[in-house]
Amino acid sequence: MSTTNRYQHIKSTKPILGGKARKLKDLMLKSDNRVCADCGAPDPKWASANIGVFLCLKCGDVHRALGPDISKVLSITLDDWSDSDIDSMVDIGGNSYANSIYEAFLPKDHPKPKMDSTMEYRTKFIRAKYETQDFLKPSLRITSKSSFDSTNSGRIVEDTREFVGELNITVVRGIQLAVRDMLTSDPYVILTLGEQKAQTTVKTSDLNPVWNEVLKLSVPRNYGPLKLEVYDHDTFSADDIMGEAEIDLQPMITAAMAFGDPSRIGDMQIGRWFMTRDNALLKDSVVNVVGGKLPVLYHFEAIFVIQSSSAEDAALLLHFQYQKEQQGTRATGMCSQGIEHRLRVRDHMKTFKKKAKAKQRHANRGNRLRR
């Protein structure tokens, strides 16, 4: 019996840890997680718990050869998953989020392997991506035994705070918006994040309006998607909906939280936001950091497709500027001391939390002695 058939034949009778199984299953249902993160093969049955990606059998074998310090490979159906393993996958968010970091600088002339690629090419690519990290800038290289904090490292500091940062969203322009009046519309945009709403002005009789208006929103600790709605203003009746979209902010905030202290360096690209079936992006976008000063600002510009029954090509161009909440001169996404400015793979999160708590206890003890 072949290896593949053997795995197909053995069906696990042990469920993934009960209380957290639903979160992992929901993550697996996202379209970009239904294929292997490295070669695109459908229906992956393996995962790297610390990197946060889903893998096919062949790519999983290569990951296993890297060792658990780099990639902790688990079978989705055959292995017992711990709480921390599931938390790691959920916190990172799956293939598109991990790839936005690990493939941020993937050259166009360096194609990813396909499902029928040779084992030699597959191994070469995976080692370059995760072991030598050829597709990240040297200053952004990830240490193998640290953790990809994404949002968790911030939680150690942020749990007492209502917001983790601030978004300045420039609504630049609309593209081929829907007709709601006689051959035209009077559009305006509403952005909603949690309980907050912000609105642009109305543009009269314009299906390709230019706003260039900045809307400000605070990012709550437990943030959800940003809701974008375009309405047609009517004087004598209720305003008509022209289109809507939901924007997942996690790729940008993940990149910002995972990146350490960039205040000593210049502007650079730190990640990439990939277009998937689960987001409204029209094409891939990059996440940039403006370094060399405080507060540190993270930027990206993207075109979002607006779901509309009468305008298939309707879209909005938005520019995002994200600023992490500051505590003194440090961003709250960082712990108090000793963290170098580098990305972190979410591997030893439990150890990281223990160290952070120990530092906090030590600091509190010192404060009491000084008093």
Which tens digit of pLDDT belongs to each residue from 81-125? Answer: 998 899 889 888 889 888 888 887 888 888 999 999 999 999 999
Which strand (E) or helix (H) includes residue 25? helix 18-29
pLDDT at 266: 57
pLDDT at 338: 20
Question: What whole-number distance in Å separates Cα of residue 318 and Cα of residue 320?
Answer: 6
The answer to whether the CB of 93 falls within 8 A of the CB of 32 is no
Q: Are the CB atoms for 111 and 104 separated by under 8 Å? A: no
Residue 279: inside a domain:
yes
Q: What is the pLDDT of residues 132-164, one digit of tens each?
A: 888 876 555 665 433 344 334 333 333 345 777
Percentages helix, strand, coil for the chain (3-state, rounded to 5) are 30, 25, 45
Read off the pTM: 0.51
Written as one string, the DSSP assignment of 125-173 is HHIIIIIS-TTS-GGGPPBTTS---TTHHHHHHHTT-SEEEEEEEEEEE
Together in a domain, 215 and 296: yes
Q: Which is more confident, 221 or 227?
A: 227
Instruction: Please check whether residues 74 and 177 belong to one and the same domain.
Output: no
- Clarify whether residues 106 and 234 are in a common domain: no
pLDDT greater at residue 360 or residue 180: 180
Least confident among 9-18, 35-44, 332-341: 332-341
Tell me what pLDDT residue 325 has: 66
Q: Looking up tokens 């889903």, which residue turns up?
A: 54
Residue 346: its pLDDT value, please?
A: 33
Residue 348 covered by a domain:
no
Answer yes or no: do 207 and 172 share one domain.
Answer: yes
Q: What percent of the chain has pLDDT over 70?
A: 63
- For residue 35, the model assigns a pLDDT of 95
Provide the H-helix boundaries in 57-145: 57-66, 83-92, 95-102, 119-126
pLDDT for the residue numbered 51: 92
Mean pLDDT along residues 165-191: 90
Range of the domain at 194: 163-331
Quick one: how far is CA 363 from the chain centroid? Answer: 32
Are 232 and 177 within one domain? yes
On the CB side of 199, CA atoms within 13 Å amount to: 10
Q: Do 194 and 305 belong together in one domain?
A: yes
Given a cut of 60, is residue 80 above it in pLDDT?
yes
What DSSP string runs through 182-215? SS---EEEEEEETTEEEE----TT-SS-EEEEEE
The DSSP code for 42 is B
Count of Cβ atoms closer than 10 Å to residue 187 Cβ: 28
What pLDDT does residue 271 have? 67
Q: Which residue has the higher pLDDT, 224 or 229?
A: 229
Helices and strands (H, E) in the chain, number of each type:
9, 15
Q: In terms of domains, do 103 and 239 share one?
A: no
Give the end of a domain, one of 119, 136, 153: 136
Is pLDDT above 90 for 356? no
Q: What is the model's pLDDT at position 21?
A: 77
pLDDT at 322: 80
Q: Which two tokens stand for residue 223?
A: 């943030």
81 secondary structure, DSSP code:
P
Task: Tell me which range, 3-12, 68-77, 92-101, 298-307, is most confidently predicted by mean pLDDT.
Answer: 68-77
289's CB contacts (< 8 A; 6+ apart) are: 256, 259, 262, 267, 268, 269, 270, 296, 297, 298, 299
For the residues 9-23, what does the mean pLDDT come to? Answer: 53
Q: Which residue is it, tokens 């790297």?
A: 48
Total structural domains within the chain: 2
Residues 324 and 289 in one domain: yes
d(CA 80, CA 99): 25
What mean pLDDT do residues 259-279 have? 62
pLDDT of residue 283: 73
pLDDT given at position 151: 37
What does the pLDDT look like over 287-346, one tens digit per residue? 777 654 556 566 767 776 777 666 667 888 888 888 876 543 333 222 222 222 222 333
Indicate whether 183 pLDDT > 60: yes
Place of tokens 């070469």: 124
Residue 350 in domain: no
Residue with tokens 């170098």: 340
Read off the pLDDT of each residue in 228-235 and give the average, rounded to a whole number. 91
50-54 average pLDDT score: 94
**Within a domain: residue 20?**
yes
Q: Which residue has the higher pLDDT, 81 or 268?
A: 81
Mean pLDDT of all residues in 193-203 = 91
Highest mean pLDDT among 1-15, 33-47, 333-347: 33-47
**Could you give the CA distance from residue 116 to residue 39 in angstroms, rounded to a whole number?**
9
The verdict on 248 and 287 lying in the same domain is yes
Q: Is the confidence at residue 264, as pLDDT, over 60?
A: no
The pLDDT value recorded for residue 59 is: 97
Domain with residue 132: its CATH number is 1.10.220.150
Sign of the CA dihedral 19, 21, 24, 29?
Answer: negative
SS (H, E, C) 261-303: CHHHCCCEEEEEECCCCCCCECCCEEEEEECCCCCCEEEEEEE
Task: Tell me the average pLDDT across 212-233.
Answer: 89
Q: What is the pLDDT of residue 255?
A: 66
d(CA 92, CA 192): 24
Q: How confident is the model at residue 74 (pLDDT cuts 50, 70, 90)?
A: very high
8 Å CB contact between 91 and 80: no
> Which whole-number Å values give the CA distances from 354 to 24, 194, 198, 203, 204, in the listed order?
25, 32, 40, 54, 57
